Amino acid sequence: MTSAQRWPERGWALLQLFLVAFFSQAEEQVCQLRGDSENPQLSKDGDIILGGIFSFHSSWNDRQKTYTYKPLPLECTSLNFRDFQIAQAMLFAIEEINNSTDLLPGISLGYKMYDTCRSIARSVRVALALANGIEVVSAPSVASCTRPISHFATCACLSDKTKYPSFLRTIPSDYYQSRALAQLVKHFGWTWVGAIRSDNDYGNNGMAIFTETAQQLGICLEYSVAFLRTDPPNKIQKIIDIIQLSSSKVIVAFLSFLDLDVLMNKLSLYNLTGYQWVGTEGWIFDSQTSEMDKNHILDGAIGLSIPKAHVSSMREFILNVKAVHSSGNDMLAEFWEALFNCKFKQSNSSTENQRECTGHEDLSGLQNSFIDMSLMPIFNNVYKSVYAVAHALHSFLGCNETCNYKKGKPVCCYDCIRCAEGEINSITCVRCQPEFWSNDRRDTCVKKEAEFLSYEEIMGALLTASSLFGTCMTAVVAFIFFRYRKTPIVRANNSELSFLLLFSLTLCFLCSLTFIGRPSEWSCMLRHTAFGITFVLCISCVLGKTMVVLMAFRASLPGSNVMKWFGPTQQRLSVLAFTLIQVVICILWLTISPPFPFRNLKELKDKIILECALGSTVGFWAVLGYIGLLASFCFILAFLARKLPDNFNEAKFITFSMLIFCAVWITFIPAYVSSPGKFSVAVEIFAILASSFGLLICIFIPKCYIILLKPEKNTKKKMMGK
Ligand SMILES: *[C@@H]1O[C@H](CO)[C@@H](O)[C@H](O)[C@H]1NC(C)=O
Ligand SMILES: *[C@@H]1O[C@H](CO)[C@@H](O)[C@H](O)[C@H]1NC(C)=O
Ligand SMILES: *[C@@H]1O[C@H](CO)[C@@H](O)[C@H](O)[C@H]1NC(C)=O
Ligand SMILES: *[C@@H]1O[C@H](CO)[C@@H](O)[C@H](O)[C@H]1NC(C)=O
Ligand SMILES: *[C@@H]1O[C@H](CO)[C@@H](O)[C@H](O)[C@H]1NC(C)=O
């Protein structure tokens, strides 16, 4: 323990460190204590022992040190009722938790409470006794799992986690008090003040922060002096002189109660009244201060106090000291004697001029500081400390090897590991709500980003541009065909089907746009159905054209009149019939179980995917399957017709376009199924665009080429020549 050497300087702050929790663990005892062991003044056995360090006595008798024999144990004097109260507050919390079925169920709590007698040396001894378990030499050793928690140590220095990594407290740091005091002094317009502080970490650190803030606020310190109650009288005398000679009438006292007590005793001799005192929580709210201040030196003092608090039943518990007496403990007997100013028979001191204690004395008539509950805010801090320890132990004991959270170290030593993604640090890692995700520092849950294919992002913009480009290209082709509608090449293979095909291609290109943007109820229903119907319309037209090629060949054979069976009316009807089937499928899908917008929280862990749920998967695959069926049929017919001598190799180009179409949609399925989030939508749009371009380019571009660049081939003669 590297800071142990510095402990004595810390003085009063240290006396207030008090809570230590430790566990019994069967381990080989390595070290042996040389010297006397420290025995707790109050103790009770339990599965888990909480330690407490108090000053049940305020002083001790100086013994002559001869250095010829081992020093005797400290002989403590002046019983201090206040710390008895605080110990009772701790007991109350321990019993309450011990009784509780929610917190640490099935675990009995014990305690060990030590008396420091306000001796710094003894404080260090008992603190180490608790930390190291040196009082149990032959018993199983105690794992070094100590966490000091203070209910009263306010020194800002203790917030330094590099020096005091395990220190905790249930009272705010002086960092706030010092600055608030400076603001208070400034508020009353006191810009010329004197300052006195305890010459320890409490006073020195507190005053340093006060001074810094005061300077910023334009407050001047006439003097700033430090002393400790154990200082020689001439040092305190010097301070009195400084106060007497000063011109400032406001004194800021960053003092512990004990130091103030010593100072007041001196000041009252000099009748130094008429000063405005500004005090710290160390003394300002303690009712003992006004008892001690017989000469009214401190009248009108102001300062900051600990917020008022009420812990139900605690007062009754503290005052219920009957149980205390019955335990037969030496110190408790002494306490009882002091409380009722009597003596127990067995006690080995002179009982002549004192009445005998019965053990049934009544507390109700009593008038002393044990009855005074003005320190309830501090009791509350004690209460909170015990609960803090209990809660920590509760979560810790609910944990098993999987949490230990360091191999080879005692089970209670663990590093804070980074929580997994989607979890944040609390006492344990806590999972964020489904719509939330942890930030990088794992300290808060942030709302997940919504993901969908939007027009703004590059992929969405490119797909939109391709779709518009395809639409324009179709329009241009349609314009060329319309302009040259009288020429043989346009008239050759049923120009009506060609225009219908161009129209449906335009719709195919446009329907890809419904896939882009934030999914809404309408866009979800439109998406697949519009796509399904326009594609079936498209393929039906191509199918019609293929049939025309096949029929035309048969018709050209002698004695055939097939053309009668597949004239323009039949062609129109077949296109209509094929499309109607898809319309029926879509209507069924939309009425039975339509697609709907869906927030997918599962697929990506850190994003919400806004997508269209299919509603009915059967519907989706029926629509796709029907397109596939027609396309395959069309492909087979075109394949059969590819070698037939027709005008301008129509069947060959249709075969080729169907080949592209089928290839695109066969690759689409695995890509669609395996793409995450918005990419599956992009894949679908890509398939729509690719197959549409395939049809447009294979079927129409060669014809446009002849129309525009090789007009000499576009003659009836040429066609008849074939
Ligand atoms: C805690 O409860 C156990 C029984 O559950 C009891 O034996 C023990 O005395 C209690 N401890 C305290 C401090 O009240
Ligand atoms: C704990 O339980 C015991 C027995 O039921 C009871 O006497 C005692 O008052 C309880 N203590 C507290 C602090 O609630
Ligand atoms: C202190 O002041 C009181 C009244 O203010 C006066 O009666 C008393 O004599 C003074 N004592 C000294 C030592 O000045
Ligand atoms: C009690 O006091 C007497 C003398 O007053 C002394 O002889 C005796 O040893 C003392 N007993 C104890 C237990 O301290
Ligand atoms: C450890 O504790 C967790 C949560 O309490 C539990 O799910 C797990 O089964 C435990 N593992 C072992 C080895 O006890």
Model confidence over 613-665: pLDDT tens digits?
A: 888 889 988 998 999 899 999 888 888 887 776 655 777 888 888 888 888 88
Indicate which residue's Cα is closest to atom 2 of ligand 2: 99
State in words which class domain 174-303 has. Answer: alpha beta
pLDDT at 328: 66
pTM for the structure as a whole = 0.56
Based on C-alpha coordinates, what's the Rg of the chain? Answer: 46
Distances (CA, A) of 7 to 126, 158, 194, 708: 12, 12, 29, 100
Query: Is 68 a pocket residue for ligand 5 (Cβ < 6 Å)?
Result: no
Q: How far is the CA of 344 from the centre of ligand 5 (A)?
A: 55
- Can you spell out the DSSP letters for 332-364? HHHHHHHHHT-B-TTS-S--TTSPBP-S---ST
DSSP three-state, residue 148: coil
Q: Is the pLDDT of residue 154 over 50?
A: yes
Q: Are the C-beta atoms of 335 and 366 separated by less than 8 Å?
A: no
pLDDT band at 384; cut points 50, 70, 90: very high
Window from 268-277, 282-291, 358-367, 407-416 with minimum mean pLDDT? 407-416
For residue 140, pLDDT over 60 is answered with no
**Cα–Cα separations (whole angstroms), residue 284 to 280, 287, 440, 559, 630:** 6, 8, 45, 123, 93
Cβ of 95 less than 6 Å from ligand 2? yes
Q: Which of 305-309, 367-371, 377-381, 395-399 has the highest mean pLDDT?
A: 377-381
Q: Which CATH number does 458-643 carry?
A: 1.20.1070.10
pLDDT at res. 422: 83
Six token digits for residue 421:
């993604």
Stronger pLDDT, 137 or 122, i.e. the higher one = 122
* Sheet containing strand 17-23, strands side by side: 42-44, 109-115, 48-54, 17-23, 149-150, 168-169
For the Cβ of 92 lying below 6 angstroms from any atom of ligand 2, the answer is: yes
Q: Is 90 exceeded by the pLDDT of residue 373?
A: no
CA dihedral 501, 507, 508, 511 (to 10 degrees): -170
Q: Can 174-303 and 458-643 be said to share one CATH topology?
A: no
Give, in order, the Cα–Cα distances in Å from 202 to each of 220, 264, 298: 22, 19, 21
Q: Please report the atom of ligand 1 found closest to the CA of residue 108.
A: 1
Average model confidence (pLDDT) across the chain: 82
CATH architecture of 3-170: 3-Layer(aba) Sandwich (3.40)
* Closest ligand 5 atom to Cα of 402: 1
Please report the atom of ligand 5 found closest to the CA of residue 399. Answer: 2
Q: Does residue 428 have its Cβ closer than 6 Å to ligand 5?
A: no
Give the pLDDT of residue 119: 87
**Between 646 and 700, where is the model more confident?**
700
Ligand 2 centroid to 91 CA: how many Å? 11
**pLDDT the model gives residue 137:** 35
Gap from CA of 566 to ligand 1 centroid (Å): 100
Ligand nearest to the CA of 270: 3
Within 280-388, strands assigned E span 302-303
Q: Which atom of ligand 5 is nearest to the CA of 398?
A: 5
Q: Which has the minimum average pLDDT: 22-26, 31-35, 123-127, 708-712?
A: 22-26
Q: Which residues have CB under 6 Å of ligand 1?
A: 44, 46, 94-95, 98, 108-109
The pLDDT > 90 percentage for the chain reads 29
Atom of ligand 2 nearest to the CA of 317: 13
Q: What is the mean pLDDT of residues 81-109?
A: 91
* pLDDT(96) > 50: yes
Ligand 2 centroid, distance to 97 Cα (angstroms): 10
Q: How far is the CA of 272 from the centre of ligand 3 (A)?
A: 9
CA 411 / ligand 5 centre spacing (Å) = 15
Residue nearest atom 8 of ligand 2, based on CA coordinates: 95
Locate the domains of the chain by residue range: 3-170, 174-303, 458-643
Average pLDDT over residues 231-258: 92
400 lines ligand 5 (CB under 6 A): yes
